[in-house]
Structure 1
Amino acid sequence: MTKATIGGLALGLALCMAATPHAGAQNADRKLQGVTQNGNTLEIATSDGRYLVKPYSSNIVETTFIPTGERLDPASHAVILAPGQVPVTLKDEGARLSFATPGITVTIDRQPFRISYAYRGKPLVAEKRGYEAKKAARDMETIEFALEDGEALYGAGARAVGMNRRGHRFELYNKAHYGYGDRSELLNYTIPVALSSKKYAIHFDNPQTGWLDFDSRKDGTLRYEVGGGRKTYQVVAGDSWDEVMAGYTGLTGRQPLPPRWAFGNFASRFGYRSEAETRAVVDSFIAEKIPLDAVVLDLYWFGKEVKGTMGNLDWDRDTFPNAEKMMADFKQKGVKTVVISEPFVLTTSKRWQEAVDGKVLALDTSGKPYTYDFYFGNTGLIDLYKPEGRNWLWDIYRKLKAGGVSGWWGDLGEPEVHPAALQHANGAASKVHNIYGHDWARLIAEGYGKEFPNERPFILMRAGYSGSQRFGMIPWSGDVSRSWGGLQSQMEISLQMGMQGLAYMHSDLGGFAGAVLDDELYVRWLQYGVFQPVFRPHAQEEVAPEPVFRSPRAKVLARAAVWLRYAMLPYNYTIAFDNSQTGMPLMRPLMFVEADPGKPFERAGTYLWGPDFLVAPVVEPGATRREVYFPNSGSVWFDFYTGDKHRGGVLEVVKPEEAHIPVFVRAGAFVPMAKVVQTTRDYTGRQIDLNYYHDASVAASNGKLYDDDGETAGAFEQGKYEIVRFTSRYVGGRLEIGFATETGKAYAAAERGFSLKVHNVHAKPRSVTIDGRAAASRWNARHKLLEVTVPARKGQDAQLAIML
């Protein structure tokens, strides 16, 4: 390794140099004493400690401050990317030093001392007072950054406070908020990341509880406050939001593709009390021809009562006498079984003594299991930070899986009640509170990786932290109220969480808390649910959340929503694949594509579903009008249901319909869809309805269809996949559409046919050919729709020419 040292040079010269912006706000007590470059790491010695600056890539740089008297803690709960061999340059410019990758430049001003960051010459952010130690035992350590006027901020986890979160101070302490509505400042996922409208992110790499202040004092300061632990953060930058998402998820891990059945419909409530009731519910869906892929069992599967039984984690044979046979029968019908578990073992549970004897539980200061009261009874907490706790819980999951369980629901994993005096194997509760759910998901994911490496786990969790997506965690937004306010908050929560890596954030469709029977609210929530990551109606049992038990009209409308969800399977599975490869979320805010940052993209009420759909949920009762902003001046959007044309860059008022919410498709989009099946087990992808949305303004476009067996872990990486790529080219009245198939090296190609539906064709084409030969086609004048059958073949490779 090369080593260069620049120690105490040109300090006198620095005094006469012009100060950089915000310099007067710096920590005047911190003095630069020397700089050493050791390979790709820059070490900056100061009067109160040392900084380590190292790049992970050209657009990701990590900075760590180690105060005098402390040692480097290299362990990260979030970062999995290895620092890359990125070319760096170190320059001494007298008043300042610059340490640059091909993308990010880190500038160190000598006096007053300051570290700042720029990307491709564009200033991003600068430390303000930088790191400051506690002044008293009860104080927090802080790291401060200077913000620009007008800079919008996003992040800090799952909240409902408005898309631009600047002006708020957020607690970093995962906590349930029962029955929340249109606003919630603290929920089950708090994530120490700030994303800026300037297209950068700062991730604070420390899981301990604290605060993230998005300029609540209105003094232009981003402030991270924590009780102790690492003083490490990463800066991620990009020219586009795509690059920022790719950088952040490359750093913290990407979501593996879930099993295909996770994109189907779930039957779920709190809760099914017996085998007979559960069987009857599943059969009702089949009888009503409402597709179903999973049934979710709440805590009654291990006990007859809500209180006193948590921790049993075994079938109650009085109420579920033949659970294994029940699950096998469901599997024959294409329905998976998901069961709930919690990290609490009550002193009244059947496993209490087993957990005590096995040293499974977190302890008090005397070394005995720490017990305390909460809603469900007197309890201990499983200590995931010692092997006895992890092995005990995994052994239970292994046995349940052998009996037929297909998916895991982890509830109360904040943990819901987590006393400060409780001791885990690696320290106090405050050290691990925020990553308890994260490490619970890790336990399941790593268990599958070792013992069932070919299977994709389904892991539904109520709490997690930065990087949890890499374990396949599917988060939900907690116990939202059954109210219009509860529905109104859901878009923001999902959009923000997708920007923070957890792209499968979703809600209990219809709302969870409260005995509210409102069919209009229920239907509108399900219609929104079609265009969000997981379709799972769930609620307290006083009012049924399953469509099969709703009023006749609500049932009809709910069934239509479920059918559309299943018809969308090819598109949804493809954008999920893209998320696994690039980190781009499934739900995306309009600012991801809006060219004019002055447009009203701060509102979460209209959003993108994948790259091609614009969705405007109806979130008010009796709505007769809905404002929709169509992004990007010069673009064109088509009404998904009527084909009506809308221009981009315009705020319009549209009229909602009872049967669906307003949904629009981007001109130039390829949208693969399928015939509706009762369960994804029956889905093949061998006959696809391919919708192409033609407009003369689109000269060229592309899209794709991703397919695999829907269940093999790492199918793409193993070459067990097929991708059909679509292209369009339009010039001089001639529309060309191409198909090209990429087949993985370990995939047995099968015949795949397409029914091509070209929208917005105003006149019968003069000719339609496939590979130069005349092809049969049908043109519907009323719907301006041209249909062409592309015959099935292995490795689909065809060229269509349509003379308009």
Structure 2
Amino acid sequence: MKQFFFLIAFLFTVSIIAQNPTRIYKSHNEENGKFEVVTNDGRYRFQFYTDAILETSFIANNEVYNNNSHAVVLEPETIQTTYKYQGDTITYGSKGISVKIVTQPFQISYVYDGKTIISEKRGYIKSAHEQMDMVKGNIVTDSIEKMEFNLTKDEVLYGVGARALGMNRRGYRLPLFNRAHYGYETESKLMNFTMPIVLSSNKYVIHFDNAPIGYLDLDSKGDNTLTYETISGRKTYQVIVGETWYDIMDNYTSLTGKQPMLPRWALGNFSSRFGYHSQEEVEMTIDEFKEDQIPVDAIILDLYWFGKDIKGTMGNLEFLKDSFPNPKQMIKDLKSKNVETILITEPFILSTSNRWDEAVREDILAKDSIGNPARYDFYFGNTGIVDIYNPKGKQWFKDIYKDLAKMGVNGFWGDLGEPEVHPHWVQHHTGSAQEVHNIYGHDWAKLVYEASLEANPNKRPFILMRAGYSGSQRYGMVPWSGDVNRTWGGLQSQPEIALQMGMQGLAYMHSDLGGFAGANLDDELYVRWLQYGVFQPVFRPHAQEDVASEPVFRSDKAKRLAKFAILMRYRMLPYNYHLMYENHLMGKPLMRPLLFEEPDNPELYNYSETYLWGNDVLVAPVLEAGKKVQNVYFPKTSNWFNIETDEVIKGGQTKSVKTHSAYIPTYVRAGAFIPLAKYMQSTKDYDDSSFQLQYYHHEDVLESERQFYFDDGKTVRPLENKNYQILVFEAEIEGRWLEIDFEAETGKNFPSETKNIELTIHNIQKEPKRVKAGKEKVEGTYNSEYKTLTLNLTWDTSIEKEIRIKLNK
């Protein structure tokens, strides 16, 4: 047996010391918190950001170190490091991650928790560019720079931005070139939002910190090799580790920036289509929502707000008075109905638009090779593109957003920001199109974020964008999955895309609910998509207008079922708002893959059919037509309550469950507290002083605690400004008593008001003998059919409250 294990260890060692045979170690030194290793063809520079984040840069002999990162915002901490040089091995590390350098033959590897997690194979090399047909003419170069790594045989790989490939992306070579895929369904190898990041089932992240376009090869040749390829730029990467997936998410989003709190209305229902042609149509649509009593919080105006036609008018960027005669009054009237106005914008200024002459005169456009405004044709007409890297272009664009914000517009939609058409010969102020293509949407989001805050310094921005880069979440970006086909195939890819992007820091990735592309009138598909939307980050039905996206214009049955879903979305508001807080504070995704719950279960590594919405809600969207029975995996970490029937299902099994036309299979973790709001027509109607609180009692859960975050839903930096309250609910079983305690942490600038709570405790098998709140006896309502106990409680949150229930065995 010892010989068998020795053989495995030997084979693994052989696999990780495959190397670039021409790289020869010369020397090493440490200075000012940076560790350098010099080789014959360049030098490695290692720097810790934290104990769990180590950055490595390779600087070739003919290059100067470039410290310009578009992704990283974290300042390196002063880390206590260890150093050992024994034989031919140098080890430099923290109490978390370490780098091991073998000097002969030269080899670099990374160690965490006593295990090698990844190692360089040949490291940095150059080679001829292997062109891929899907990006022919987009990635233009003769040679490519690579960084090559070893993979273990069985690890599963995630990341590389938004794709529809299945959760496991190993086996693909994927372009890093943001590009729209119109009408995709179950497979898309290239989409709007690519990122140079790979996550492993072995619980590490490697992020390639370089903006120019290229590829990520996730072992496409089957030889256990990961390769980052780029046309130019930095050879810098960070390795990020953590004890749990949530630690890794926290560490990565600390490195690249946390998502700011969105306005609370962003969690409501949006009215959106391509598009509303007039002020009259906008107002009529919102009136339909009000008449049908379907909640709505925002309306999105597509490109008809600045032109009557799809083509020829892009770049006008001001209301067309013929169609929108009084936009300021329209926005004011919508606001009086608790509806926000969001406008589409694009970075393209057509030569036929009203602003072309101004754009040329103000010198705000990207250039061609001889310094003239770069002009080219695409679907919408002959165009130039705003050079947001030119200070003049950046300020010009900013001023437009600020003027619209001052008019009352509270959200902006940045469309076509890949950019959709961006010839390689176009020159921006800081570099070529190939160098800035993948960061254009990222830096555009930053511009809009800054403009929004400059116009309204104490109001949270809302920025809807189709493309970006690593770290775009820090600019409040809300991405969506592009022009998905309005088919069941289109729906089937959406959970995977959203889960993957949440793992990469972009927690608000969502889809056009109902599907976008094609005139497919399918009420079942529409309803199932909206039911899935209840448990995805942003609830925004949107589509081409030949088939209505808004529930108010669908059949009576579809409208009724859609309304039920929307009302459920609003009922979930206090729970969902806490997810926003968790994401802001710790980088936790709102949608979470089950591999986070069972990280050592390989059966879940490529699984997205069921997922967690926050910590406590298990969701299994219906993704096929006519589906009557659905297989759902219930994680072994808990027992699970059917949210509609209270049936308790034991965790650790896959179970066939019946579907229902009014909702998708949804379950709650045993021991969870779930706060629910009362019915409302807008998040502006939300009153957090009165809510329902569901506690899912189970004898296997002896102790349980949950926190829920509250603030005013609109002002910036509530945590820093102490303008918040966190309610803490604890449950404990002590013999025959169930004790539930209420506590509150209240910021000094937040009112500590009284809460009226309707507490419902599930799974109480017999009517309790006694219920006490503090020293007083309380009369509750026991439902013998559903086995629930309901108590109406008043709680002064400045003091703790204790409820004791004597269970009747």
TM over 0.5: yes
Is 1:729 the counterpart of 2:732? The answer is yes
1:384-399 counterparts in 2 under 5 A?
Answer: 384-399=388-403
**Alpha carbons 2:670, 2:701 under 8 Å: kept:** yes
Residues of 1 paired with 2:16 and 2:180: CA distance?
41
CA contact (8 A) 1:176 1:414 kept: yes
Query: Quick check: 794-803 or 436-445, which moved more?
Result: 794-803
Contact 1:595/1:632, CA 8 A, preserved across alignment: no
Q: Of residues 191, 212, 215 in structure 2, which corresponds to 1:211?
A: 215
1:383 to 384, 387, 400: 387
1:39 Cα deviation after fit = 3.0
Contact 2:84 2:90 in 1 (8 A): yes
1:349 partner amino acid? S
Amino-acid identity (%): 52
* Equivalent in the alignment of 2:553: 549
Paired residue secondary structure (1:54): strand
Q: Tell me the equivalent position of 1:616.
A: 620
2:263 aligns with one of 259, 266, 276: 259
Partner of residue 108, structure 1:
101
* Letter of the structure 2 residue corresponding to residue 482 of structure 1: R
Corresponding position: 1:356 with 2:360: yes
Decide which moves more: 722-731 or 488-497.
722-731
Cα offset, 1:603, TM superposition:
1.6
Aligned mates of 2:452, 2:209 — CA distance in 1: 27
Q: CA deviation at 1:796?
A: 5.5
CA shift digits 1:568-603 (9 cap, x unpaired):
000000011010000010000001011541334522
Change (3 A) 1:553 1:23: closer
Secondary structure of the residue that 1:523 maps to in structure 2? Answer: helix
Distance 1:429 1:778, change over 3 A: same
Asked whether 1:99 is paired with 2:92, we answer yes
**Mapped pair 1:370 → 2:363:** no
SS of 1:22's equivalent in the other structure is helix
Secondary structure in 2 matching 1:140? strand
Could you tell me whether the CA contact under 8 Å between 2:398 and 2:447 is conserved in 1?
Answer: yes
- Give the drift of 1:788: 1.1
Aligned residue for 1:25, secondary structure, equals coil
For 1:644, the equivalent position in structure 2 comes to 647
Residue deviations 1:327-358 (CA, integer Å, cap 9, x gap): 10010010000000000000000000000000
- 1:241-292 alpha-carbon deviations (Å, 9 max, x no partner): 0111011001000101100000000000000000001100001000000000
| CA distance in 2 between partners of 1:780 and 1:159 (Å) | 48
Instruction: Give the C-alpha shift of residue 23 in structure 1.
Output: 4.6
Matched residue, 1:464: 468
Task: Identify which of 775, 787, 791 aligns with 1:772.
Answer: 775
Q: Is 1:739–1:798's contact at 8 Å kept on the other side of the alignment?
A: yes
Aligned-residue Cα RMSD (Å) equals 1.3
Give 1:451 deviation, angstroms. 4.2
Partner of 1:797: 800
Quote the residue 2:136 is aligned against: none
Matches within 5 A, 1:266-281: 266-281=270-285
Pairing 1:140–2:152 present: no
Matched ranges for 1:752-771 at <5 A: 752-771=755-774
CA contact 1:596–1:632 (8 Å) conserved in 2: no
- Give the C-alpha shift of residue 748 in structure 1: 2.1
Instruction: Please say which of residues 493-502 and 392-401 is displaced more in the overlay.
Output: 392-401
Other-structure match for 1:122? 115
Question: Matches of 1:356 and 1:449 in 2, distance apart?
Answer: 28
Query: Cα gap change, 1:23/1:401 in structure 2, threshold over 3 Å: closer, same or farther?
Result: closer
1:31 equivalent in alignment to 2:24: yes
Aligned to 1:50: 43
CA drift at 1:629: 0.3
1:428 to 427, 432, 436: 432
2:73 aligned residue: 80
Question: In the TM superposition, what is the alpha-carbon distance from 1:511 to its structure 2 partner?
Answer: 0.1
Shift in Å, 1:101: 0.2
Deviations 1:221-252 (A, max 9, x none): 01100011000000000111011101100100
* Correspondence for 2:672 among 644, 669, 672: 669
Please point out which of 157, 161, 164 is paired with 1:160.
164
2:537 counterpart (533, 537, 558): 533
Report matched runs for 1:666-705 at 5 Å. Answer: 666-705=669-708
Does structure 1 residue 710 correspond to structure 2 residue 713? Answer: yes
Contact 2:541 2:550 in 1 (8 A): yes
* Superposition map of 1:621-636 within 5 A: 621-632=625-636, 635-636=638-639
| Rounded Cα–Cα distance in structure 2 between residues aligned with 1:324 and 1:174 | 35
Aligned to 1:60: 53
Does residue 713 of structure 2 align to residue 720 of structure 1? no
Deviates more, 1:601-610 or 1:174-183: 601-610
Residue identity matched to 1:351: R
Local SS of the residue matching 2:500 = helix
Corresponding residue SS for 1:690: strand
Contact 1:751 1:796 in 2 (8 A): no
8 Å Cα contact 1:23/1:112 also seen in 2: no
Give 1:733 deviation, angstroms. Answer: 2.4
Aligned counterparts of 1:449 and 1:513: Cα–Cα separation in 2: 34
Does residue 40 (structure 1) correspond to residue 33 (structure 2)? The answer is: yes
Q: Give the superposition deviation at 1:754.
A: 1.1
Is the CA contact (8 Å cut-off) linking 1:116 and 1:125 kept in structure 2? yes
Q: Which secondary structure state, in structure 1, belongs to the residue aligned with residue 147 of structure 2?
A: strand
> How far apart, CA to CA, are the structure 2 residues paired with 1:632 and 1:599?
13
Cα pair 1:752 1:796 within 8 Å, conserved: no
- Conserved 8 A contact 2:756-2:794: yes
Q: How does 1:413-562 map to 2 (within 5 A)?
A: 413-562=417-566
The match for 2:312 is 308
User: Comparing 297-306 with 125-134, which one deviates more in the overlay?
Assistant: 125-134
Conserved 8 A contact 1:600-1:629: no
Q: Secondary structure at the match of 1:599?
A: helix
Q: In 1, are the aligned partners of 2:341 and 2:410 still within 8 Å (CA)?
A: yes
Confirm or deny that 1:745 pairs with 2:738: no
Distance in 2, matches of 1:572 and 1:759, equals 21
Q: AA paired with 1:696?
A: E
Give the Cα separation in 1 of the matches to 2:712 and 2:34: 44
Q: Deviations over 1:779-800 (max 9, x none)?
A: 1011111111221424362111
1:24 Cα deviation after fit: 4.4
Unaligned 5+ segments in structure 2 are 1-9, 130-140
SS in 1 for 2:603: coil
Secondary structure in structure 2 of the residue aligned to 1:160: coil
TM value normalised by structure 1: 0.97
- For 1:35, the aligned partner's letter is H
TM-superposed CA distance for 1:675, in Å, is 0.4
How far apart are the structure 2 equivalents of 1:450 and 1:409?
18
SS in 2 for 1:689: strand
Kept after mapping to 1: 8 A contact 2:71/2:256? yes
Q: Which moved more, 1:794-803 or 1:242-251?
A: 794-803
Instruction: Report the Cα offset of residue 149 of structure 1.
Output: 1.1
What's the secondary structure of 2:335's corresponding residue? Answer: helix
Question: Contact 2:482/2:511 (CA < 8 Å) preserved in 1?
Answer: yes
- Find the partner of 1:191 among 170, 190, 195: 195
* 1:519–1:554 contact (8 Å) kept in structure 2: yes
Report if aligned partners of 1:269, 1:541 keep a CA contact under 8 Å in 2: yes
Deviation digits for residues 462-494 of structure 1 (CA, Å, limit 9, x no counterpart): 101100000000000000000000000000000
Read off the aligned partner of 2:610 and give its amino acid letter.
T
User: Could you tell me which amino acid in structure 2 is paired with residue 613 of structure 1?
Assistant: V
Partner of 1:5: none
